[in-house]
Amino acid sequence: MSLTRLKIRNFAIIDKIDISFKPGFTVITGETGAGKSIIIDALNFSLGERTSASMIRSGSEMALIECTFDCDVENSTAISFVKSKRLAICKSSVTLIRELYSSGRSKAWINGKSCSNSVLKEAGNLLVDLHGQHDHQSLLNEDNHISFMDAFGDYQDQIEKVSILWHKLKNLKEQRDILDQKWKINKEKRELWEFQYREIQTVNPKEGEYDELVEEKALLENSEKIHQISTELTHALYEGDDTLYQKIQEVSKNLRVLNDINESFNNYFTKLEETQYLFQELSNQLSQYCNEVKYDPLRLEKINQRLYSLQQLMKKYGSTLKEVIDYKNEVSGSLNDDEGLEKKLSKLDKNIREAVTNYSSAALSLSQKREEQAEILEKELEKDLIRLGIKGSRFKVRLEYVPDPNGWVHVAGQTYQGDSTGVDKIAFEISTNPGEPLKPLINIVSGGEVSRIMLALKSILAGRDQIPVLIFDEIDSGISGKIAHVVGEELRELGKVHQVICITHLPQIAGLGDDHLSVNKVTKDERSLTQIERLSKGERVEEIAKLIGGKVVTEISLQQARELLG
- pLDDT for the residue numbered 248: 79
**Interatomic CA distance for residues 254 and 248, integer angstroms:** 10
Quote the strand ranges of 172-327, DSSP E.
Answer: none
At position 468, the amino acid (one-letter code) is: P
Q: Give the mean pLDDT of the chain.
A: 85
Q: Does pTM top 0.95 for this prediction?
A: no
Q: Would the CA dihedral through 256, 258, 263, 269 be positive or negative?
A: negative
456's CB contacts (< 8 A; 6+ apart) are 381, 384, 385, 388, 490
Residue 472 has pLDDT above 60, yes or no: yes
**More confident site: 295 or 353:** 353
**More confident site: 56 or 154:** 56
- Model confidence at 338, in pLDDT bands (50, 70, 90)? low
**Interatomic CA distance for residues 470 and 499, integer angstroms:** 6
Q: Where are the domains of the chain?
A: 1-133+449-534, 186-337, 537-566
Average pLDDT over residues 84-107: 82
At position 436, the amino acid (one-letter code) is: E
Average pLDDT over residues 122-128: 86
For 512, left (φ over 0), alpha (ψ -120 to 50), or beta? Answer: alpha
Residue 172 has pLDDT above 90, yes or no: yes
- pLDDT for the residue numbered 423: 95
Of 397, 366, 459, residue with least CA distance to 142 = 397
Of 236, 260, 232, 256, residue with least CA distance to 246 = 236
105 burial (CB, 10 Å; 0-12 / 13-18 / 19+) is exposed
**Interatomic CA distance for residues 363 and 370, integer angstroms:** 10
Residue 223 has pLDDT above 90, yes or no: no
Q: Give Rg (Cα) of the chain.
A: 47
- pLDDT for the residue numbered 377: 93
Pair 459, 500: CB distance under 8 Å:
no
- Model confidence at 294, in pLDDT bands (50, 70, 90)? confident
**More confident site: 221 or 23:** 23
**Low-confidence winner among 237-241, 407-411, 487-491 (lowest mean pLDDT):** 237-241
- pLDDT for the residue numbered 217: 85
**Interatomic CA distance for residues 442 and 429, integer angstroms:** 9
- Model confidence at 307, in pLDDT bands (50, 70, 90)? very high
CATH for 1-133+449-534?
3.40.50.300
pLDDT tens digits, 38-77: 998 999 999 988 899 999 998 899 999 999 988 765 546 7
Pairing, β 25-30 against β 499-503: parallel
Cross-strand pairs, 17: 8
Residue 398 has pLDDT above 90, yes or no: yes
**Interatomic CA distance for residues 46 and 361, integer angstroms:** 42
